[in-house]
Chain A
């Protein structure tokens, strides 16, 4: 079975400080992993994806994530938060050979000026 656990439902950071959004997954085989962002009243946008290439994945807007198989983690980071980063972030897993995505419960990021 596959599942995704986002360890924090809400993260609050000051503008200019680092961002860390944590995600752990369980999957029977080597999965594909994604981070999507949802700004208020908007659809979801892909930030980055891991599909068994380099374990450190760079995405849009300065975000990156590292796939750690030994820890079954795929944490999302950004060195310096911007006000426009305030949004809901979803960690997503897709098992090998699957067509569908399994979403985590989301982490709401608040950026304090």
Chain B
């Protein structure tokens, strides 16, 4: 009964490929997020959705496209992968947007682009 799950856990692919990472939360939360953690452990938000609507879109290449089919799922599709996309991607969810609500993180997806 994992709260926030991500698949796959590891993803190794070549430059130029297109790949997707899936995220699901069973907490009944309205808000979901994608974060990128680089090789120096620095975490930065990429996107946030509230009730399937995009509310945060940081400066991210448009090769990255999030999709939220329902409020329990937030998938991340990446086109034309580049070496610099190698990172750990974390999905998170919270009850509602805003700083007062704890964000629950998934275990991460380690993406390696060769």
Taking beta carbons and an 8 Å cutoff, which residues of A are in contact with B?
Answer: 31-32, 36, 41-46, 49, 51, 88, 90, 94-96, 98-101, 103, 105-106
Contacts and interface: CB of A to CB of B under 8 A. Distances in A.
Interface stretch (B14-22, B42-50, B76-84): B42-50
B84 to A, nearest CB: 18
Contacts of A99: 31, 48, 55-56, 97-99
A44 B6 CA distance: 14
Contact of B103 (A31, A46, A98, A106): A46
A45 B105 CA distance: 7
Contacts of B44: 103
A10 B59 CA distance: 29
Interface of B: 4, 31, 33, 40-45, 48, 55-56, 58, 90, 92, 97-100, 102-103, 105-108
Contact of B105 (A31, A44, A96, A106): A44
Given A49-B102, A100-B56, A101-B103, A43 B4 contact: yes
Given A90-B43, A105-B42, A43 B56 contact: no
A49 B92 CA distance: 17
Nearest to A36: B105
A76 B90 CA distance: 24
Given A51-B100, A101-B99, 16 more contacts: A41-B107, A43-B4, A43-B105, A44-B90, A49-B102, A90-B43, A96-B99, A98-B99, A99-B31, A99-B55, A99-B56, A99-B97, A99-B99, A100-B33, A103-B44, A105-B42
A31 B99 CA distance: 9
